[in-house]
Chain A
Amino acid sequence: MTCLPAPSAKKLGLVIDLDTCVGCQACATSCKEWNTQGYSAPLTDANPRSADPLGTWLNRIHGYEVKEADNENSRIVNFPRSCLHCETPACVTVCPTGASYKRAEDGIVLVNPDVCIGCKLCSWACPYGAREYDYSHGVMKKCTLCVDRIYNENFVEEDRVPACVKACPTGARHFGDLGDANSKVSKLVAERGGYDLLPEMGTKPVNKYLPPRARRDATTLPPESLPKGDGSAIDRLFAWADGLLGGKQAAPRSTKKTKG
């Protein structure tokens, strides 16, 4: 089963907008709370009150600083990272037991927790750090694309999205079929130049990242200034204020300040 199925027409995945993500951790904790009671239950937190807590998370938000060539200052880019549900996932083919598999119908990469022996080889094969071993459960955990939400008939249609997408307050996470060129997500990728992480690894990620857009500050906009006329600013302002009266009234002429 760890041989890959024939490529599916449907390629469900996420599109993550790095231009919009503020790093609020909503996707990370929503993922944790759904999945610790859902398909991946439990996502253990070992030694939670200690100096060295060790929890299993399926989605983590990195923070990077990016120096822009023409700008003295670096930008902070918040960077959510989870399983990319690759088209040719190395984590699947290395699995000795068949616990890891790519679903034939929608391309979701899953671990069958009843079969996983916890050898961790898949986590070595994954370039993206998407798989986290749950020490107390003894099996590998990973993003399931909320397979137990997206088809869940107990939810209304619009809630049938991964927990991270449902949560995201800025709307920086998009879910859909990247196998369909006409889907909203595919169009977004096309418009915004969505890209793959580490394409040279040959894993062909389904998830795409939308790059931060160019900033519109002094480095990208020609400086413009408000016009200045002749005379003192207060007199010009006065004349302008006078104009507001529409010439119907005789405006006072004095702009002189009283002493004091």
Chain B
Amino acid sequence: MNPAYSVLLFTTASGAGYGMLALLGLTGFSHGPASSMAFALVSMVIALGLITVGLLSSTFHLGHPERAWRAVSQWRSSWLSREGVAAIITYGPALLFGAVWSGLIDAPQLIAPLGLFTAVMCAVTVFSTGKIYSTLNTIRAWNQPLTVPVYLSFALASGAAVLMAVAVIFGRFQTFQLALGASALLLIAVLKFLYWKAIDNAPRDRTMANATGLGAGVRQWELPHTARNFIQKEMGFVVARRHSEKLRALFFILLAIVAAAYGACLISPWFALIAAPVLLFAAWVERWLFFAEGEHVVTLFYGNQQA
């Protein structure tokens, strides 16, 4: 699949934003009012900012962004629609939560329920995003049990990393955050490792022979047109195995750097400022690979023997 930058930006930025927002909600749920209005407002702005930038960027690849509002209508069947609904709904509790948690509105009794609701909605939104991909049986690499957990864990890990960096700036670093960040980091490393193992081992048992019904001896002779078409541009992108292995290695190296930075946080929390961007970059690489390794079944009609 073609890794469109608008979609990569959307899923990495909004993933981090929802992860961070969820953690803020849980913080409010468990700890009550924020210890500093400035920290609360800045961190809320950053979380909602990441979410909003992501959502806006996702509309860049729409042919008719002005009709984007229509996308909430089909929540009964479409995970994309559900994601849209969840994303929009999340803004309500999130904004209220931010207001009460930061103390802009004085209603401390609402912090816990709003915080919990916000965190749940963040999870629902990211879950829906993951479902958009995992329910597409046309792309085996996406149609995996681990796709949704990977999306959720990336949101958590990248949200935790960003939150930690903000906390450090505001002098509110706690080793608990580090423990959470490190656990989430370990989780994505393990899940991603398992995910890649799963897709590498999944039998590529969809074949040109079955797609065309022409039997085992079939191979492509002529493409329909010598000029490239939408399908080839959008679905025909397949990363070379060698290149993909390099990028996977890069991904784990980046995670190792993040882990090292986390370790270094025990010496100086300011290393969190290194960890966050490196992890976001790692998330970008992972997301690029997620698309580039997504082999669409339609490629069987375009010369691919197996998918």
Contact = CB atoms under 8 A, between A and B. Distances in A.
Q: Say which size band chain B's interface belongs to.
A: 35 or more
Interface stretch (B95-103, B118-126, B135-143, B145-153): B135-143
Contacts of B63: 116-119, 133-135, 137-140
Interface in A156-182: none
A64 B219 contact: yes
B62 A117 contact: yes
A125 B138 contact: yes
A80 to B, nearest CB: 9
A60 interface: yes
Given A94-B135, A124-B296, A198-B206, 19 more contacts: A2-B74, A54-B233, A65-B219, A65-B221, A67-B218, A79-B212, A94-B79, A94-B80, A96-B72, A96-B84, A115-B67, A117-B68, A119-B71, A139-B63, A139-B64, A195-B213, A197-B212, A198-B297, A212-B214
Interface in A190-249: 195-198, 200-202, 209, 211-212
Interface in A118-142: 118-121, 123-129, 132-135, 137-140
A62 B222 contact: yes
Contacts of A56: 230
Contacts, number: 197
Interface of B: 1, 61-65, 67-68, 70-74, 76-81, 84, 132, 135-139, 206, 208, 210-215, 217-225, 227-231, 233-235, 296-298, 300-302
Contact of B80 (A18, A79, A119, A123): A119
Given A65-B220, A118-B64, A77 B228 contact: no
B77 A129 contact: no
Given A97-B71, A117-B65, A118-B63, A126 B298 contact: yes
Contacts of B79: 94
Contacts of A128: 298, 301
Nearest to A81: B301
A96 B221 contact: no
B229 A96 contact: no
B235 A63 contact: no
A77 B215 CA distance: 12
Most buried by A among B68, B139, B298: B298
Interface residues of A, number: 68
A133 B77 contact: no
Contacts of B231: 123, 129, 132
A95 B78 contact: yes
Contact of A54 (B71, B77, B78, B228): B228
B59 to A, nearest CB: 8
Contact of B234 (A55, A69, A123, A196): A123
The winner among A55, A95, A124 for most chain B CB atoms within 10 A is A124
B70 A97 contact: yes
Nearest to B299: A129
Contacts of B135: 94
